[in-house]
Structure 1
Amino acid sequence: MSKFMEVAANRDYSKSWQAPGSFPWIFQQPKPPIEKRVIGVRENYIRCAKGEQPYWMPAYFYESNIVWPDAMEEHPVPEVDGYDWWGVNWIMVDSAGGMITKPDTRAISDFSRWKEELNWPDLSLVDFRTDGQKIQKMLDPERPHVYECVEGIFERLHEMLPFEESLMAFYEEPELLEEFFQKMADYKIESTQKIIDYYGRIDGVLYHDDWGTQRSGFFSNEMFREQIMPATKRFMDYLKKKVAFIELHSCGKNIQYVPMMLEMGIDMWTPQLFINEPDYLHSTYGKVMTFTFPLMIEPQWKEDEIRRAVREFVDHFGENGRVMCWIMTENFNQDQEDIARDELYRYSLTYYNQRFGRN
């Protein structure tokens, strides 16, 4: 057992471990109940994710609960500078609001030696049961519960050694790379099953794997299909048997991969803001995939301006019932968010009743 795995194996998971104010801590906090609606919030959210004629347009993030286990040490726990259970060294970047791997960190000396050098986490040593009991107490039974499955199959590769070396493996060691990705898919399946077993109801999985830059994907479509897709699809096939929907978090301008996302069974993508064109995604794929698009509320807007912007958003993106609205305000302005969510529910409820022939 590595010294990093030993820390994870001996942690007291009855305690809350995340640093107050960090994103894991924010995700874990209980949310206020949502007022009674025409159908359950959970049912409506799943309808939207699956393209099954929701009754209103969900307010993204607000209407779901994120399941972020302390017992999954894909990042340091607590999320401050330190090591995860793979032995990867992470640092917090306050300006980005998250963690990155420390430059030049490596958990293996060379990709060609991963079989000899890499210490795979022994999940049997971790007290998922106690952590799951703790996390469940903070989940709203009326909301969908979404497991935040971070550090995907490709991300984990380039976290273990410098990024350029991970890309070279695609050319220099394609067969060994396929073995690595398939073994990582095994790990993802095993670890996700722990969450399903011990954390109560899991309705969806939000799978993280960043595939692109600000300009395009990292890989040609051919390389993606040949080397990223097989192991990823095997994990997606497992998820489809276990949860109601699969959401993808993949930073970068990754529009080119949407057809393959669909082939892998991904129901929903929250594209990185400002570099993926919402109108193109909506017009091209809006009938077959659900998207989350942002609604930016200007700080000077009054109530009538906020409500008008919400109505325009619904009119623009609501036709297929496959868009969620991510309401964004400056400095998390609660009053503006309350107004926007109220209008989103009321207006989109009427809109969808008309759109889908409900009376």
Structure 2
Amino acid sequence: MKYERPSFRAPGVPTERKKLLFLSEETDVPKFDYPVTPLENFRLAAAHKTPYWMPNSMTDDQFVAAQELVTGDVRGMQVSADFTRVVTESYTFKDWFNTDWTWVPSAGGPMLTPGTCLCQDITAWEKTVKFPELREWDFTTFADSFMKTVYDPAKVLHIDLGQGATERLISIVGGYTEGMLALAMEPDAVRDFLNRFADFTIEYVDLVTSLYPVNMITYHDDWGTEKDTFFSEKMMEEIVFGPTKRIIDHIRSKGVLFEFHCCGNITRFIPYMIGLQVDFLQIQRRAVDIPAMKKKYGDRIGFNVWPEALEFGVPHPKDELVQKLRNTVDLYGTGGGAYVNIMESDPVLIWDMVSELYAYSREFYDSER
């Protein structure tokens, strides 16, 4: 069956307003007559069953960033991408572990401020690192407002937790060199710290899930450069895997899907991520051959992807964007296990991309079904 691609703001086409990723503006996108709710469709994709269309984070998700969870000036609360506002100039801040950070707009993220070190000796972390007391923060004001004015039970409620265990280790010891030396020279102390961070994260998850009917949680823990992983398989098995598994097991025990944001060429760690029962990977296309990983592991782990071969910051005509979206569905669509992010600033192109992704993937999955 062929599905309509409605023209921009065509008369009679239902629409909804959506905020643009990394921008303050909103735009109209078409609102389709779905055969099931976006949440039901997303659950099919996550279960590696044939969905009705390839989920689109712009239209199918309700995303709550880590900075939004707590009321007040919490730009660095758990240190994740500043999706909640337009950032054009660098600024410095302390996060809720009292670590110093500098937000770098050109990098699109926070960097540990040079010279920052909370813990010069990882074997003494219990004396120098103060874990946040979550009860001291106001989590309820934003949650109450969100649930009353924004929440849509038909869509995926997707919450970002921010920084993960090894990233927190690196932040307290003063950087990646110090973090890798700690992993190599003091594995027992590092493991103890990571387990304490897992305890904290589990408490954090319990609080968040008590306030929101969460469907998916994203957790950030970068494990590599674009060349290779920061640490070895042996360190993964003996130090990092156990605390990370505790966090993921706890999240999934609540019926919540788990998405792992992990930068770098972490190809060698994907079998471990499957062992951790990660539902979706959010990884770097320029560092990892994601189509090859989909072909090899796609029946066991899912992928959050951008339109294939999209060059960020480079203008693309409509016909080229349409072809990229079709290639994305063809590469990642088989058997579910994938959803797409759309990022554009032109309202007409956004409309056309949303329409094409929905229509083409409906046709793709009708054929598969």
In 1, the alpha carbon distance for the partners of 2:367 and 2:124 equals 60
2:335 is aligned to 320
Could you report, residue by residue, the CA deviation over 1:156-195 in whole angstroms, capped at 9, with x for unpaired residues? 0111122222211112221111111111000000011111
Superposed counterparts of 1:20-99, under 5 Å: 34-68=31-65, 69-71=68-70, 73-75=77-79, 80-99=91-110
2:295 is aligned with 1:279 = no
Q: Which amino acid is 1:124 matched to?
A: R
For the residues of structure 1 that align with 2:356 and 2:27, how far apart are their CA atoms?
A: 23
Specify the alignment match of 2:4 in structure 1.
none
Query: How far off is 1:30 after superposition?
Result: 11
Give 1:131's aligned residue.
Answer: 142
Alignment of 1:113-128 (within 5 A): 113-128=124-139
Corresponding residue for residue 186 of structure 1: 199
Alignment deviations for residues 16-40 of structure 1 (CA, whole Å, 9 cap, x no partner): xxxx9995x969x999784331110
Correspondence 1:215 to 2:227: yes
The secondary structure found in structure 1 opposite 2:60 is: coil
Distance 2:237 2:316 in 1: 46
Tell me the distance in 1 between the aligned counterparts of 2:137 and 2:106. 32
Structure 2: any 5+ residue segments left out of the alignment? 1-18, 86-90
Please list, as runs of the form range in 1=range in 2, the aligned pairs for 1:283-298 lying within 5 A after superposition.
283-295=295-307, 296=310
Summarize the alignment of residues 186-335 of structure 1 with structure 2, pairs less than 5 Å apart: 186-198=199-211, 200-295=212-307, 296=310, 299-302=315-318, 304-329=319-344, 332-335=345-348
Deviations 1:44-67 (A, max 9, x none): 112212312211111234421212
Q: Report the count of equivalent residues.
A: 331
Aligned equivalent of 1:343:
356
Give the structure 2 partner of residue 9 of structure 1.
Answer: none
Measured at CA, do residues 244 and 46 of structure 1 come closer, stay the same or move farther in structure 2, by a change above 3 Å? farther
C-alpha contact (below 8 Å) 1:111/1:165 kept by paired residues: no
Shift of 1:115: 0.8
- One-letter code aligned to 1:50: A
The answer to whether the aligner puts 1:176 opposite 2:189 as a matched pair is: yes
In structure 2, the CA distance between the partners of 1:346 and 1:207, relative to structure 1 (3 Å rule), is same
Structure 1 residues 156 and 30: CA distance shift in structure 2, 3 A: farther
Work out which structure has the larger RCO, using CA pairs closer than 8 Å and 6 or more positions apart in sequence.
Answer: 2
Cα 1:300–1:184 change in 2 (3 A) is closer
Report % sequence identity: 27
Report the Cα distance in structure 2 between the residues aligned to 1:192 and 1:337, rounded to whole angstroms.
34
1 CA distance for matches of 2:165 and 2:327? 38
Distance across 2 between alignment mates of 1:104 and 1:235 = 30
Query: TM-score, structure 1 length as denominator?
Result: 0.84
Q: Is the CA contact (8 Å cut-off) linking 2:30 and 2:355 kept in structure 1? A: no
Aligned mates of 2:272, 2:58 — CA distance in 1: 25
* Residue identity in the other structure for 1:96: A
Aligned to 2:7: none
Query: How far is the alpha carbon of 1:104 from its aligned partner?
Result: 1.8
Task: State how far apart, in whole Å, the 2-side matches of 1:312 and 1:153 are.
Answer: 35
* Native 8 Å contact 1:75 1:83 kept in 2: no
TM-score norm. by structure 2 comes to 0.82
- Could you list the per-position Cα deviations for residues 319-359 of structure 1 after superposition, in whole angstroms to 9, with x for gaps in the alignment? 22222233344xx2232121121111112112212202xxx
Any stretches of 5+ residues in structure 1 without a counterpart? 1-19
Distance 1:21 1:327 in 2: 9
